[in-house]
């Protein structure tokens, strides 16, 4: 019998995804299989159109595969309803996107509190939970600012705080440095790496940048809907822990 410690947090077996437009079928994913253990930091790389964003949508319960089996925490997801998947997603997963997805004309604090509306946490706890998340990314001095008053790096830190507020098991980061300059992007990668190393959170990063991917422990490289390679990072970049300055 497999011990729980050796079970993957995410296990996908022969996952396929087909998009149909009238009589035309597009195969976005083809027989993709891999395991991601709890506490891993995995980067998924590949050129545009390789299937990496489609894969993230499936892993994050934002879409369903056309074929194959997806297990999360050793439970097969295929039989669950969309509402059941949404509940798991809200409790177990946090998302960070390239475009930040912050509400305009709404403070950082209120943006970070948003996921708590659908959580089991008491409303009396929301402010503290949100402030803890905001402080953890070094943004406490900006809690009352609206997104238009923040730099790109600060917007992404607010988005990370929002992803953390429900204390998720796993963080999905989709091109989180794509709209940032090099220095701001480095700060974001240091925060993600810190969350993985210190808090033992699982991080799955979608990126096309090799330097960004090398903050991870492992890189899955995708091409034409397939996993072309799955390798450990040999020369890993380590966080400098400077983001609180």
Over residues 139-161, the pLDDT tens digits come to 999 999 999 999 999 999 999 99
Contact (Cβ atoms closer than 8 angstroms) between residue 178 and residue 98: yes
Distance (Å) of CA 23 to CA 19, 20, 29, 39, 172: 10, 7, 18, 42, 33
- The pLDDT-based confidence of 2 (bands split at 50, 70, 90) is very low
Cα dist from 194 to 71, 108, 158, whole Å:
27, 21, 16
The model's pTM: 0.90
Q: Residue for token digits 């997104």? A: 147
Looking at residue 100, its pLDDT comes to: 92
The 10s digit of each residue's pLDDT in 176-201 is 999 999 999 999 999 999 999 988 99
């Amino acid at each position: 019998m497999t011990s729980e410690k050796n079970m993957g947090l995410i296990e996908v077996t022969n996952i396929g995804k087909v998009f149909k437009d009238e009589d035309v079928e597009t195969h976005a994913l083809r027989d993709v299989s891999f395991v991601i253990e709890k506490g891993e930091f995995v980067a998924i790389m590949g050129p545009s159109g390789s299937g990496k964003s489609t894969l993230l949508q499936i892993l994050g319960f934002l879409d369903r595969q056309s074929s194959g089996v997806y297990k999360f925490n050793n439970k097969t997801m295929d039989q669950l309803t969309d509402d059941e998947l949404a509940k798991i997603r809200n409790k177990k997963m946090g998302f960070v996107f390239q475009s930040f997805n912050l509400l305009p004309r709404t403070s950082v604090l209120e943006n970070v509190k948003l996921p708590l509306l659908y959580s089991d946490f008491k409303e009396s706890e929301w402010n503290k939970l949100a402030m803890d998340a905001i402080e953890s990314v070094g943004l406490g001095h900006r809690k009352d600012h609206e997104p238009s008053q923040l730099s790109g790096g600060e917007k992404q830190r607010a988005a990370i705080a929002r992803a953390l507020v429900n204390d998720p098991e796993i963080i999905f980061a989709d091109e989180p440095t794509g709209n940032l300059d090099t220095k701001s992007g480095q700060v974001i990668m240091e925060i993600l790496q810190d969350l993985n190393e210190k808090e033992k959170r699982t991080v799955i990063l979608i990126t096309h940048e090799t330097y960004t991917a090398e903050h991870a422990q492992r890189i899955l490289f995708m091409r034409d809907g397939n996993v072309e390679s799955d390798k450990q990072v040999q020369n890993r970049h380590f966080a400098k822990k400077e983001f609180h300055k």
